[in-house]
Amino acid sequence: MATSISCGECYCRRGWPNLCMALAPMGFSYAGGMAEYVTIPARALRNGHVVKVPPGIPAVSAALAEPTSCAVNAVENCGVGPGDVVVVIGGGPLGILNACVARQYGAARVILSGRNTTRLKQAEAFGIDVLVNPQQTDLHAVVLAETDGIGADAVIVAAPAADPREQAIGLVRKRGVICLFASLPAGKSVLALDSRPIHYGELKIVGASDSSPRQVEAAVALLGSGRCSDSGHFPAEKLVTHQFGLPGIYAAFDLMQRGEALRVVLRPAGEGVIA
Ligand SMILES: [Zn+2]
């Protein structure tokens, strides 16, 4: 389901339910998520938040619908289209998802930049064209080399740090788009941006927050039949590096906190470690 439930009024009437002023997320405003059963609030049904998963999509893949839909929102906000070169900064699971979704929306080349060598190693399995560790390689030089010196069409910042946002200005072509996907903590969100390239290059800086039910439907469709690389299908099963039954919930959180897992799926009906 689209788990951040909109009110159906306010911005919702403009078709922007992810920007609802009374957004009520499951797991925060309503109990549920990591349990065998969950009560779906009436307003979730009323406002189209329940998305049917077609047969043939494993539950483990469907469990990625929410993060994938957020990447769909980012890629759509960037206007990514056929032939584009897209840079994704951040090698975590959401960075990888953004890279895969960008490819699905037609990007010809995707460059993923990440500082965590373990994560970058994990990213190798996803058919991303260029992987860069900016601590070892000059990301700016790589982007220029990949774009005939022009710059990328879009940069999606999926790393929770200020520097990549500031550097992204120098990675896009004129009229390029920079998407601030990951959020920064309150009090640490002020950036020092060079405004000249924005002005003279007519750059666009956009945000991406949450996703709409339509984008969750798009994500489910991607998880079912989409492709990340030209040859492979959307690599949902590679993103789910661990699965646990509910008794494994603490081990699951531990893995996430240590940064060893990409995505951990809890299977409430299962017992203990499944795989
Ligand atoms: Zn609303």
**Class of domain 78-207 as given by CATH:** alpha beta
Tokens of 218: 């798009």
Alpha carbon of 19 to ligand 1 centroid (Å)? 7
CA 96/CA 128 separation, integer angstroms: 8
pTM above 0.85, yes or no: yes
CA 4/CA 92 separation, integer angstroms: 22
Tokens of 48: 């189209």
For the chain, residues with pLDDT lower than 70 are: 226-233, 270-275
Alpha carbon of 230 to ligand 1 centroid (Å)? 39
- pLDDT, position 224: 83
- pLDDT, position 270: 56
Neighbours of 13 (CB within 10 A): 10
- pLDDT, position 272: 44
- pLDDT, position 226: 52
- pLDDT, position 59: 87
How confident is the model over 147-170, as pLDDT tens digits? 999 999 999 999 999 999 999 999
Alpha carbon of 213 to ligand 1 centroid (Å)? 13
| Residue ranges covered by each domain of the chain | 4-50, 78-207, 241-275
Alpha carbon of 47 to ligand 1 centroid (Å)? 10
Decide: 153 and 172 in contact? Cβ < 8 Å: yes
Decide: 209 and 19 in contact? Cβ < 8 Å: yes
Alpha carbon of 5 to ligand 1 centroid (Å)? 9
Beta strands 24-25 and 4-5 are antiparallel
Strand order in the sheet with 172-180: 130-132, 109-113, 85-89, 152-157, 172-180, 204-207
How many residues in the chain? 275
How confident is the model over 248-267, as pLDDT tens digits? 999 999 998 888 888 999 98
Alpha carbon of 46 to ligand 1 centroid (Å)? 12
Alpha carbon of 49 to ligand 1 centroid (Å)? 13
- pLDDT, position 231: 41
- pLDDT, position 233: 61
